[in-house]
Amino acid sequence: MFVFEEPRKVSERAMNGSGFGGPNSIDNGTDGVVWPDSNQFELPWWHQLAWTVLFVPMIMVATGGNLIVIWIVMTNKRMRNVTNYFLVNLSIADAMVSTLNVSVNFSYMLTSNWTFGTAYCKISQFVAVLSICASVFTLMAISIDRYVPVTLYLKQYHCLSLAISLVRRMAFQDI
């Protein structure tokens, strides 16, 4: 939520740079009314450069890596199995986060100005929640997919070893 300040009447001393109404304040031409600084949260150029050096490679690697995973699984028939389909779903969700959410929010972080419109503001938040939920549910499905065979194997192995031990006891009781 943005808080907009109302213009205030200021003295001539304040308009000259001491107190409210610094060098970035905008005088709208009325007598003694000065608007506050246009963007007090703007990052210095070296902060913007540092964030750009960190974010741009991260976005490129995340998007590129996830697209490569999707491409490999979809083009290779040997790779088409349930576990890899789960990984493709996870890659789609992560690619959505990196392209549709992180890059846009990075732009907003640098400029402190939302240039993508009201509709995309709502869509961006929806996409963020959707892709995070898709990632979490996919990881849960992968864990269930791995848990069930392991526990069934252990149960079968336990029952098999119990049956073998019973047969051995019965066989050696007669001796």
pTM listed for this prediction: 0.63
pLDDT in tens, 120-133: 999 999 999 999 99
Better pLDDT: 14 or 38:
38
Residue 31 near residue 58, CB atoms below 8 Å: no
pLDDT in tens, 3-13: 555 555 544 44
* pLDDT given at position 88: 94
Token pair for residue 156?
């079968």
In this prediction, residue 17 has a pLDDT band, given cuts at 50, 70 and 90, of very low
